[in-house]
Structure 1
């Protein structure tokens, strides 16, 4: 199960690493769209957009449905819950570390101020 979760996160973050794919997700968050519509909005070829959508689809972030000659894209059902949970774990860790650092800095400032008064 852990390897599946890691592979899923790897695929998601790889998909999200590209600005065009993040833009596609933003667009699909507003409304579903065909690959042709997306290609037009992003000023790229159909082939290029198909590749981007394929990466998003493999990561589970987008689903597509072909009706006739039109492939419609929509956000995936899973959303970004697993990715958000992973990020939250590390956000909490770093928040604790920054709080500890802040305490050390405050202690050093107090010591510095008291050393200055003692002179």
Structure 2
């Protein structure tokens, strides 16, 4: 859903359309995304329109960046271990 909203704003129905779930289930899912600060939902006439709130993704980015060094070290260690096995 977030990927689709990165392209354009969508109504709840249009956002839920490609997923194999009821409109009620999609609405609950959208509510969770909204509560997490990842999307905004606003009423336009009789429709509810969803849009991506990129500020919510900043926290995810910040969290993931904390682990970049850790994973680089782990992958370098794996690379060294595999090279040692090849040398044997």
Q: Is the structural similarity TM-score above 0.5?
A: yes
1:64 pairs with 2:41: yes
RMSD of aligned alpha carbons: 2.2
Asked if the contact 2:34–2:41 (Cα under 8 Å) also holds between the matched residues in 1, the reply is yes
1:48 pairs with 2:25: yes
Structure of greater Rg: 1
Asked if the contact 2:42–2:49 (Cα under 8 Å) also holds between the matched residues in 1, the reply is yes
Which residue of 52, 70, 73 maps to 1:93?
A: 70
Distance 1:25 1:43 in 2: 16
1:80 pairs with 2:66: no
TM-score (norm 1): 0.60
CA separation of 1:98 and 1:77: change in aligned 2, threshold 3 A = closer
* Count of paired positions: 88
- Give, in angstroms, the shift of residue 41 of structure 1: 2.6
Gaps of 5+ in 2: none
TM-score (norm 2): 0.78
Question: Counterparts of 1:12-23 in structure 2 under 5 Å?
Answer: none
Gaps of 5+ in 1: 1-23, 113-119
Distance 2:56 2:84 in 1: 43
